[in-house]
Amino acid sequence: MTNADMPVDSECPTSTPPISATPVNPAAVDIDENEPREECGVFGVWAPSEDVAKLTYYGLYALQHRGQEAAGIAVSDGSQILVFKDLGLVSQVFDEQTLAAMPGHIAVGHCRYSTTGGVTWENAQPIFRTTAVGSGLALGHNGNLVNTAELAGRARELGLGQAVKGGRAQPAAATSDSDVVTALLAHAAADSSIEQAAMELLPTLKGAFCLTFMDEHTLYAARDPHGVRPLCLGRLDRGWVVASETAALDIVGAAFVREIEPGELLAIDAEGVRSMRFANPEPKGCVFEYVYLARPDTTIAGRSVHSTRVEIGRRLAKEHPVEADLVIPVPESGTPAAVGYAQGSGVPYGQGLMKNAYVGRTFIQPSQTIRQLGIRLKLNPLREVIRGKRLIVVDDSIVRGNTQRALIRMLRESGALEIHVRIASPPVKWPCFYGIDFASRAELIANGAGTHDSYDDMIEGVRRSIGADTLGYISTEGMIAATEQPRSRLCCACFDGDYPIALPAEAAIGKNVLEGVLTGQSEAMLLSENANASALSRP
Ligand code: SF4
Q: Which pLDDT tens digit goes with each residue over 168-178?
A: 443 334 567 88
For residues 115 and 39, is the Cβ–Cβ distance under 8 A?
yes
CA-based nearest residue to 483, from 495, 470, 472: 495
Tell whether the model's pLDDT for residue 15 goes beyond 80: no
> Which uninterrupted H or E stretch holds 442?
none
- Nearest to 257, CA basis, from 265, 266, 249: 249
Tell me the CA–centroid distance for residue 438 and ligand 1, in Å. Answer: 10
Per-residue pLDDT at 367 exceeds 70: no
Residue 524: pLDDT band (50, 70, 90) is: very low
Strands 326-329 and 390-395: parallel
Q: What percent of the chain has pLDDT over 70?
A: 79
Output the CA angle 205-141-158, nearest 5 degrees: 50
- Report cis status (omega within 30 of 0) of the bond before 126: yes
What is residue 371's predicted lDDT score, i.e. its pLDDT?
58
Q: Which amino acid is at 220?
A: Y
Give catalytic status of residue 40 as yes or no. yes
Ligand 1 atom with the smallest distance to the CA of 495 is: 2
DSSP 351-403: --EEE-TT-SEESSPPPHHHHHHGGGGTEEE-HHHHTT-EEEEEES--SSSHH
Give pLDDT, residue 440. Answer: 78
Q: What is the pLDDT confidence band of residue 538, given thresholds at 50, 70 and 90? A: very low
Q: Is the pLDDT of residue 16 over 60?
A: no
Q: From the CB of 286, is ligand 1 less than 6 Å away? A: yes
Report d(CA 491, CA 291) in Å as an integer. 12
How many CB atoms neighbour CB 510 within 10 A? 28
> Could you give the angle at the alpha carbon of 49 between the alpha carbons of 5 and 141, nearest 5°?
55
Tell me if 432 CB under 6 Å of ligand 1.
Answer: yes
* Angle (nearest 5°) at CA 475 between 473 and 479: 105
User: SS3 of 458, please?
Assistant: helix
Q: Is 494 in the pocket of ligand 1 (CB under 6 A)?
A: yes
Predicted structure pTM score: 0.86
pLDDT band at 451 (very low <50, low <70, confident <90, very high): low
User: In this predicted structure, what is the pLDDT of residue 114?
Assistant: 60
123-140 per-position pLDDT tens digit:
889 999 998 888 999 999
pLDDT at residue 10, rounded to an integer: 29
Residue 402 has phi, psi (to 5 degrees) of -65, -40
Top-ranked range on mean pLDDT: pick from 28-42, 80-94, 360-374, 515-529:
80-94
Tell me which amino acid residue 245 is. Answer: E
Positive/negative CA dihedral, 176, 177, 183, 185: negative
CA distances from 177 to 24, 211, 285, 517 (A): 21, 12, 21, 11
Q: Is the CB of 199 under 6 A from ligand 1?
A: no
- The rounded mean pLDDT for the chain is 84
Name which residue sits closest to atom 2 of ligand 1, judged by CA.
494
Give the integer Cα–Cα distance in Å for 73 and 93.
Answer: 10
Q: How many C-beta neighbours within 10 Å does residue 372 have?
A: 9
Q: Read off the amino acid at residue 83.
A: V
Q: Is 492 close to ligand 1, i.e. is its CB under 6 Å away?
A: yes
Cα 143 to middle of ligand 1, angstroms: 10
Residue 36 C-alpha from the chain's centroid: 9
Contact between residue 158 and residue 186 where contact means Cβ atoms under 8 Å apart: no
Per-residue confidence (pLDDT) for residue 117, from 0 to 100: 56
**The sheet that has 219-223: what strands, in order across it?**
127-130, 136-142, 210-214, 219-223, 264-269, 272-277
Residue 265 has pLDDT above 50, yes or no: yes
Set 12, 40, 210, 286: catalytic member: 40
Q: How many CB atoms lie within 10 A of CB 405?
A: 18
Largest CA distance in the chain: 73
Q: Kindly give the number of the ligand 1 atom that is closest to the alpha carbon of 435.
A: 4
Atom 8 in ligand 1: residue holding the nearest Cα: 286
Q: How many angstroms separate the CA atoms of 184 and 498, rounded?
A: 30
- Residue 228 Cβ inside 6 Å of ligand 1? The answer reads yes
Least confident of 38-47, 93-102, 411-420: 38-47
* Cα-based distances in Å from 234 to 212, 223, 237, 451: 14, 15, 10, 50
Residue bearing the CA closest to ligand 1, atom 4: 432
